[in-house]
Structure 1
Amino acid sequence: MSHHTSQFCPAPIRPVHSAYVAVTLRLADPSDDSLVRHVRLLRDCVALSQQRWGFSIDAAVVLPDEMQLLCLFPDADFGTHGAIKLICSAFDHHLPTHGGSVWAAETEVLEIADAVAPLRREFIEAAPVRAGLVESAGDWPYSSAHQGAAQSGEMGVAVA
């Protein structure tokens, strides 16, 4: 017996589920350090995107030319790409004295299983050590691993 869906019978609605999503955004120019030079602007752009798309951030690190986030979206199929686009376009729009987009053409977006999320958090927070910027992850001021940095506001990437 074949299964037939009538045009009068809508497809079942997929239940909404929260999902971890790992996002890596890179600048087109690897020698550019705009992300750390303008970390407050980047933080505001992320906060704006959070307000619009309703996601939380479990871990974050901002390197000179790269930002990595571990986000929890209400539904991984809804909002992830819109949130990324808003972060990038807002940063581009408000970046002083820069025309065009500073971002690399490709963005890494991975849905992460709940069981793997703690490992991804460790991976993200260890990025400055892997990059040779610090000896200990907690020494990098632009990371959720950094506990001593003064924070401004309550939203956005929890980095200095």
Structure 2
Amino acid sequence: MTSYRRNLVPGGSYFFTLAIADRQSDLLVRHADTLKQAIHVEKQQHPFSVLALVILPDHLHAIWRLPEGDCDYSNRWRRIKSAFSRALPKDEDLSQSRAQKGERGIWQRRFWEHTLRDEHDMQVHCDYIHFNPVKHGHAGRVVDWPHSTFHAYVERGVYLPDWGGTDASIDGDD
């Protein structure tokens, strides 16, 4: 079995990227409320803070802060992915490997994680998350994308509503 090295910082803040198996699908936005509910239930059972989130058709980005002394983000994501998958009808194509393991085939098996080092790193990743719908051509302006914490940031005065229009650029790749 492959061993993955994860940086585990109790009480840390992390940036995540998770993708579905079919990168041509719009599954996540079609079922955004189901995904948000799975995250909400997990937060109730195993507390953490969602500092930023964007749900795109085929992947999502999130920033979480875990409670003091806790670094178990992997099991939280496993439970969220599992709850989301169980809530959907079983109509996806399954590889033989996934079928043998009892997997659904909705999500890519792994996810990408980055431990945020400081407030600057946090801000860069928040900007990246909120600009992502424009970067991928899903919206002309950040404010036009409904599946994002950007709107809560505008309400708190962190961003102006016109931040990140089509003439803006944020460096970075998925």
Q: Show CA shifts across 1:41-95 (max 9, x none).
A: 0011011121222111111000000111111112586220011001100011111
Aligned pair count reads 132
Indicate yes or no: 2:39 matched with 1:28: no
Counterpart in 1 of 2:118?
Answer: 114
Counterpart in 2 of 1:68?
Answer: 61
Instruction: Return the match for 1:47 from 37, 40, 43.
Output: 40
Q: How far apart in 2 are the matches of 1:121 and 1:63?
A: 15
Q: TM-score, normalising length from structure 2?
A: 0.70
Counterpart in 2 of 1:37?
Answer: 30
Question: Given residue 112 of structure 1, which amino acid in structure 2 is its aligned partner?
Answer: L
Change (3 A) 1:76 1:22: farther
Change (3 A) 1:94 1:83: same
Counterpart in 1 of 2:97?
Answer: none
Indicate yes or no: 2:80 matched with 1:87: yes
Q: Which runs of 5+ in 1 are unaligned?
A: 1-15, 148-160
Q: Is the 8 A contact 1:19 1:73 kept in 2?
A: yes
Q: Which has the larger radius of gyration?
A: 1
Change (3 A) 1:51 1:126: same
Q: What are the residue-to-residue correspondences of 1:71-150 with 2, within 5 Å?
A: 71-75=64-68, 78-98=71-91, 100-115=104-119, 116-146=121-151
Larger RCO, structure (CA 8 Å, separation 6 or more): 1
Q: How far apart in 2 are the matches of 1:41 and 1:22?
A: 21
Question: Given residue 41 of structure 1, which amino acid in structure 2 is its aligned partner?
Answer: T
Q: CA deviation at 1:98?
A: 3.4
Q: TM-score, normalising length from structure 1?
A: 0.76
User: SS at 1:126's partner residue?
Assistant: helix
CA RMSD of aligned residues (A): 1.8
**Identical-residue share of aligned pairs (%):** 29
Question: Given residue 89 of structure 2, which amino acid in structure 1 is its aligned partner?
Answer: P
Q: How far apart in 1 are the matches of 2:57 and 2:80?
A: 16
Q: Is the 8 A contact 2:17 2:61 kept in 1?
A: yes
Q: CA deviation at 1:19?
A: 1.2
